[in-house]
Structure 1
Amino acid sequence: MNSISSGKDGFWARVRAALGRGDEGTDATGRKMLPPQRIDEELRKGWNEAAEHKVSLCVLALEMDLYAEYFAAYGAEAVEESLTTLEAAINAVLPRHGDLCVRGEQAGFVIVLPDMPRLMARELTSRIAVAVRRQGLAHRGSHAGHVTLSMGLCVVNPQGPLDRSVLSGATEAVEKAQRRGIGRLEIVDYRGMDEKRAKAA
């Protein structure tokens, strides 16, 4: 795969590899990449808040579908403009003060949502999808004819120190969603697994 391809060797694999190392550079469009520490900071803050109040934590990963095709069709400048538009549109529909859509390299975003029930997070993904459609960003490389985002949602009950597997769960979920098509949502809920481990112990 080339440097602008999605999937296993794309944005999410590099985020998982870089977290904690402070890597920074430029992406395929020449845009300075957001340091992975920023995602890590949001994750740590959300984890600690949820653990302190003994509530669940949702982590939502989002990625533009068919990014390589979009880049090839429209070029780096259009990519940057579209991603900036998407970032603003997503932030505009986030329901609470302090919620933040964090942009990384290429076409990925992360939203950390402490104390948000799974149902509310799922409803948020629907509002985000509507907001993206309303931007009317053409994508001739997609059969939808416009830009879409696939999303992966991971839900946990944080306990103890930060466990970054919640981010891995969300990023793997968005990759699975993209393997199924475009504009899809995949959800993984780790809370049942935590309960089973606790009972086994």
Structure 2
Amino acid sequence: MEADKGLSRLHRHEMEMMLALNSLEQATGRKMAGEVIFPHTGRDGVRHGRMAFEKMQRLLAPVEQMCAGSEEFRDICDQFGKHKRALGETWREKLAIDAQARALWRPLEDELLRLVNAVSSREVQRSLKNTESLSEAADYIVWSIFLFTLGVLAFLLVLLLLLRRDLLRPLVRIAGNLSRLRDGMRPEPIPAVRITELQEVVDIVPDIGGYLGSLRERSCRLEEEKDAYARMSLTDSLTGIPNRRALDMRLADLAELRQAASLIMLDVDLFKIYNDTLGHQEGDSCLRRVAQAMRDGLRGGDHELFRYGGEEFAVVLDGVSPEHALQVAERLRQTVEQLGIPHPGSPAGHVTLSLGVAAVEVLTPETLPRLLEAADSALYSAKEHGRNRAHLAGELVKKSACLAAGDRL
């Protein structure tokens, strides 16, 4: 029970630490500790063991250093420190509980082995004494002692067989089952024994196995729940597409690969007026329809759609030319326009998009901020020139023919 409670507390504090790290990353705009999901199996092969604990401490060291020299994020850093201390204390409690569990196994196994050795030694000594006493009396009554000796030997043989069947063999099997349980294996069935006290020990072994199995199942379920929460932290709850944090991770991964990449920044035109006029529920429905249409309109595994925040979205294109990226942006603009979602505050009368496109030949951690800035500037340029258009960084893209004729925006 203590091990189960300790493990539950440990997982809860791990989730709180993940949330604290998410808040810190969103506030600073930096990636603090690499993979947020801590590995719990160290080089010693023990889940939540001491080496895994030390590895977790090393992962969080850069975050502590950043917090130590920052006053701007003091409140968030204080929360981070509070959760880290709670996680450390819970982890140490878990290590202590595991150590107690291992300590409880050793005396039981040693006692069983000692009992087996003691019983075997006493029976052998008793046999030798009986044999010696019979040998001394053999000089006086040869035939009687001979027959008596045969009887005694037969009796001892039967006794040893009974002891082996009812005592030694069950003890050996119990010790073997305890070893199997310790290694995470199922216990083997043990036939009923005639010694009541020993039968009670035999009956307890399956209960121990069932408890350990239940404990392992609970641990697996907690791990699955933790993985599900981790996936949820990368998904936008409204639209079901990857969120801003997933975008940052994707761009960071591409920067490490050092290859060509393009970025499309886009948002829904005059969306505040849409929300104020029709209400937030209609606004949420509009965003879901726009996101679904854009996701369906993107083709190929190298085009990824993210929700940047509010009515803003972003598309990452891996290894494509600026012209190709511009074509994708125009296709997205047309896709949303063709939805024909009524917009009472738009000159076009329906929901439209403005898009900014930027590209780099080699994306690196150094050029990543400039790529984001260029795409954002292109987006604002598209808005300044009338909205409902795609704009390549440094170049104004002509509107589609249907819009250019009337120049309605």
Q: Residues 66 and 142 of structure 1 are in contact (CA less than 8 Å); yes or no, is this contact kept in structure 2?
A: yes
Where does residue 93 of structure 1 map in the other structure?
297
1:165 aligns with 2:366: no
Q: Residues 333 and 389 of structure 2 are in contact (CA less than 8 Å); yes or no, is this contact kept in structure 1?
A: no
Alpha-carbon deviations, 1:34-68, whole Å to 9, x = none? 8632221122233334x2xx4x2110000111111
Q: Residues 359 and 371 of structure 2 are in contact (CA less than 8 Å); yes or no, is this contact kept in structure 1?
A: yes
Where does residue 36 of structure 1 map in the other structure?
244
Instruction: Check 1:109–1:35 CA distance in 2 against 1; reply closer, same or farther (3 A cut).
Output: closer
CA distance in 1, matches of 2:352, 2:31: 31
Q: Residues 46 and 113 of structure 1 are in contact (CA less than 8 Å); yes or no, is this contact kept in structure 2?
A: no
1:64 aligns with 2:268: yes
Higher strand proportion: 1
Residue ranges of structure 2 left out of the alignment (5+ in a row): 1-25, 33-75, 77-237, 395-409
Give the counterpart letter for 1:36 in structure 2. R
State the shift of 1:171 in Å: 1.2
Q: How many residues align?
A: 163
SS of residue paired to 1:62: strand
CA distance in 1, matches of 2:27, 2:359: 21
TM-score (norm 2): 0.37
RMSD of aligned residue pairs (Cα, Å): 2.7
CA distance in 2, matches of 1:154, 1:18: 24
User: Comparing both chains, which one has the higher relative contact order based on Cα–Cα distances under 8 Å and sequence gaps of 6 or more?
Assistant: 1
Residue ranges of structure 1 left out of the alignment (5+ in a row): 1-15, 24-30, 190-201
State the shift of 1:98 in Å: 4.5
Aligned pair partner of 1:47 in 249, 255, 258: 255
Q: Residues 295 and 305 of structure 2 are in contact (CA less than 8 Å); yes or no, is this contact kept in structure 1?
A: yes
State the shift of 1:19 in Å: 2.8
Q: Residues 61 and 108 of structure 1 are in contact (CA less than 8 Å); yes or no, is this contact kept in structure 2?
A: yes
1:80 aligns with 2:284: yes
- Structure exhibiting the larger radius of gyration computed from Cα positions: 2
Share of identical aligned residues, percent?
23
Give the counterpart letter for 2:369 in structure 1. R
TM-score (norm 1): 0.72
SS of residue paired to 1:100: strand
CA distance in 2, matches of 1:73, 1:86: 18
Aligned pair partner of 2:312 in 105, 108, 121: 108
Where does residue 393 of structure 2 map in the other structure?
188
Give the counterpart letter for 1:42 in structure 2. R
Where does residue 119 of structure 1 map in the other structure?
323
Give the counterpart letter for 1:114 in structure 2. D
Alpha-carbon deviations, 1:59-107, whole Å to 9, x = none? 0000111111111111111111111111111111212125221013210
Higher helix proportion: 2
